[in-house]
Amino acid sequence: MEQLVYLRDLVVILGFGVIIVALFHRFRLPSTAGFILSGVIVGPDGLGLIDDVHQVEVLAEIGVALLLFGIGLELSLEKLRRLWKLILAGGFLQVAFSVLATFGLARMYGLPTGPALFVGFLVALSSTAIVLRGLQERGEVDAPHGRLTLGILVFQDFAVVPMILAIPLLVGAGPGGNLLIAAAESVAIVVGVLLAAHLVVPRILNLVAKTRQRQLFILSIFVISVGTAWLITTSGASLAIGAFLAGLVVAGSEFRHQALADLIPFREIFASLFFVSVGMLLAPSVVLGNIDTIMILLLAVMIGKALLVFASAAILRLPLRVCLLTALALAQIGEFSFVLVFAAQGTGLLDKALESNLISAAILSMFLTPIAISFGPHLAAGVGRIRRLTHLMKVPSAEDAADETRRMRDHVIIGGYGFAGQQLARALEHCSIPFVVVDLNVENVRKASSEVGHAYFGDVTSHEVLESVGAAYARQLVLLINDQRATERAVRVARRLAPGLAIVVRAFYLLDINPLLAAGADDVIAAEREAAVEVATRVLGRHQVDAARIEEHCRQIRRRSED
């Protein structure tokens, strides 16, 4: 009755997962960390409720494949096009720095060239599943640091293909000339997937959709996805890589939203199994027996990788807040590293002790990452107060504004100098209304200084920065930054500092309005609502509806958005 054993294991795993994740939610801890802890508890080295880990690993392999298929679906070629600079520049710098730094350290400690380079591959990869889930739970995927994080993760995911194909070369199973063949195979796989996503799959799905048979559509999605994954695995890549690229293929069609909707319920269940299976790999007895080595590895990975990610983002001249939040998000070893480890088993590339210690450190880093992401904004809040950095970047800091703003009264503070901030600054200048600009993007500060003056580098969520730019004497604070969590924090800080200050906030979604109003904002302008108003105005105008009726409909749209 093997089926009943599977059912019992599923009930135990998901039951413990529900209890622990519910407790984690009560204490505002990430659900992913709860599932990993569940795996530690129910696994053979915990309470021993699940003694056959292989059964769970089979389900987890399906889970990670579905998870990565969903991630590929959510990316889409359009999103990749928008992120291509971050993918190529940020991803290449991060992977290259991580591999080279790890390789150098491994060689210093006596590891041969092949194993040292392989360890570099393992450390370079972060957890797409954990990081994206953490960003999605916090609504930060479209924030500046979310876009950079996603770009680097996409590059890492593609980099796994040549890494797997390079394993035989690292163990000396083939001549050095095969390196070019492996690289050519990797490029051919990626190019083939992108061409299929752009040219072939949309036409096939369009023909199927014309039949209006939902079951035929779902079957076609399944055949395309599994077929693509199978073809990719025949080249030497793993099922997880094949599933990710298969998702990317389907994402190239206009039907990806329907495919994603059909997949989500299964993906969430199997993804939870994956995280539980990761926890099962962590043996508390092994950790306690090698605690010194594992802790050194853990600290070296998380601190070293965070510094390398921070350096990669800084080279791209991104704001310090973005650099710091991205570094915290990516400071772990990810699930594709386990795929590499499993692909290298039996080759002798890593000795058992090193492999066990690396796996333990990797799982602990994955467990700590959701917690680091949740506390990241608090750590980044005071980044604008690092005065020495502002001098190195040769931009005026918020502290430099103190003397000037002390003489100001009833001025406007503009948080963020993107397009909206630029237009507001020019309008205020044209109307002779005093204002100051605060931004964490060095290039924006330099641009604002040259165009309108009164621009300073600083974190608008910081009490000291707001105090320096005269929030206590200002008439208005206008927040035009893209990070909604940072916006909410800035509103709370500003309201405590200046109870009478009028605070105007730009938000993206209707769901952001109430939290911002509760934090103390006076006016929240939601881009989603204003877009609806503008669309209605344009459409009704083309039908010659009179202006009074259009205005009434616009008032109704705004009224409904407040319900």
The string of DSSP codes covering 135-204 is: HHHTT-TTSHHHHHHHHHHHHHHHHHHHHHHTHHHHTT-S-TTHHHHHHHHHHHHHHHHHHIIIIIHHHH
Tell whether 473 and 506 lie within a shared domain: yes
**Cβ(66)–Cβ(263) under 8 Å?**
yes
Interval 320-364: pLDDT, tens: 778 888 898 899 888 788 778 877 877 778 888 888 888 888 888
Interatomic CA distance for residues 505 and 517, integer angstroms: 9
Interatomic CA distance for residues 231 and 242, integer angstroms: 8
Tell whether 182 and 250 lie within a shared domain: yes
Bridge partners of 455, per DSSP, are 437
Do the domain assignments include residue 48?
no
144-165 helix and 128-137 helix, angle to the nearest 10 degrees: 170
Tell whether 474 and 344 lie within a shared domain: no
Model confidence at 176, pLDDT cuts 50, 70, 90, reads very low
Structure tokens at 209: 């959709």
Model confidence at 309, pLDDT cuts 50, 70, 90, reads very high
Bridge partners of 523, per DSSP, are 504
Interatomic CA distance for residues 534 and 542, integer angstroms: 12
Q: Which residue has the higher pLDDT, 72 or 95?
A: 95
Do the domain assignments include residue 37?
no
Torsion of CA 395, 400, 405, 407, to 10 degrees: -130
Burial of residue 85, with CB atoms counted within 10 A of its CB: 0-12 exposed, 13-18 middle, 19 or more buried: exposed
Tell whether 246 and 150 lie within a shared domain: yes
Do the domain assignments include residue 531?
no
Interval 500-523: pLDDT, tens: 899 999 888 777 888 888 888 888
Q: How many helices (H) does the chain have, and how many strands (E)?
A: 28, 6
Three-class SS of residue 129? Answer: helix
Interatomic CA distance for residues 214 and 221, integer angstroms: 11
Bridge partners of 437, per DSSP, are 414, 455
First to last CA, the chain: 54
128-137 helix and 53-82 helix, angle to the nearest 10 degrees: 70
CA 236 to chain centre: 28
Do the domain assignments include residue 263?
yes
31-42 helix and 352-380 helix, angle to the nearest 10 degrees: 150
Q: Range with the lowest mean pLDDT among 68-82, 450-464, 483-497? A: 68-82
CATH at 204: 1.20.1530.20
Residue length of the chain: 563
Tell whether 437 and 318 lie within a shared domain: no
- Give me the residue label for tokens 């103390």: 520
Tell whether 306 and 217 lie within a shared domain: yes
Interatomic CA distance for residues 460 and 538, integer angstroms: 36
Do the domain assignments include residue 15?
no
Structure tokens at 390: 């502002």
Within 10 Å of residue 396's Cβ, how many Cβ atoms?
18
Query: Strand 455-457 and strand 476-479: pairing?
Result: unpaired
Burial of residue 104, with CB atoms counted within 10 A of its CB: 0-12 exposed, 13-18 middle, 19 or more buried: exposed
**Cβ(337)–Cβ(102) under 8 Å?**
no
- Last residue within a domain, chosen from 331, 350, 377: 377
Tell whether 338 and 442 lie within a shared domain: no
Domain that holds residue 347: 57-377
Tell whether 414 and 302 lie within a shared domain: no
Which positions ≥6 away from 550 have C-beta within 8 Å? 536, 537, 540, 541
Give the up-direction half-sphere exposure of residue 545: CA atoms within 13 A in the CB hemisphere: 15
- For residue 11, which amino acid is it? V
pLDDT, the chain, mean:
78
Identify the pLDDT of residue 8: 76
- Last residue within a domain, chosen from 377, 411, 426: 377
Phi, psi (rounded to 5 degrees) for 437: -110, 135
Q: Which residue has the higher pLDDT, 471 or 1?
A: 471
Q: Range with the lowest mean pLDDT among 300-304, 495-499, 551-555? A: 551-555
Span 453-462, average pLDDT: 80
Identify the pLDDT of residue 38: 85
- For residue 442, which amino acid is it? V
Minimal CA–CA distance to 278: which of 333, 219, 208? 333
Interval 377-402: pLDDT, tens: 666 655 545 555 555 555 566 556 55
Tell whether 308 and 423 lie within a shared domain: no
Structure tokens at 512: 């952001």
- Last residue within a domain, chosen from 506, 521, 536: 521
Do the domain assignments include residue 187?
yes
Number of structural domains found in the chain: 2
Tell whether 213 and 256 lie within a shared domain: yes
**Cβ(377)–Cβ(31) under 8 Å?**
no
**Cβ(73)–Cβ(263) under 8 Å?**
yes
Measured over the CA atoms of residue 286, residue 287, residue 292 and residue 293, the dihedral's sign is positive
Do the domain assignments include residue 448?
yes
Minimal CA–CA distance to 331: which of 96, 94, 109? 94
**Cβ(134)–Cβ(32) under 8 Å?**
yes
Interval 29-63: pLDDT, tens: 667 778 888 888 887 777 777 766 666 566 666 66
Do the domain assignments include residue 43?
no
CA–CA distance from 280 to each of 43, 59, 270 (Å)?
A: 5, 13, 15
Within 10 Å of residue 131's Cβ, how many Cβ atoms?
27
Tell whether 196 and 132 lie within a shared domain: yes
Phi, psi (rounded to 5 degrees) for 318: -90, 160
Q: SS in 3 state form for 86-126?
A: HHHHHHHHHHHHHHHHHHHHHHHCCCCHHHHHHHHHHHHCC
Model confidence at 286, pLDDT cuts 50, 70, 90, reads confident
Minimal CA–CA distance to 326: which of 131, 84, 102, 98? 131
Bridge partners of 414, per DSSP, are 437, 478
Tell whether 330 and 412 lie within a shared domain: no
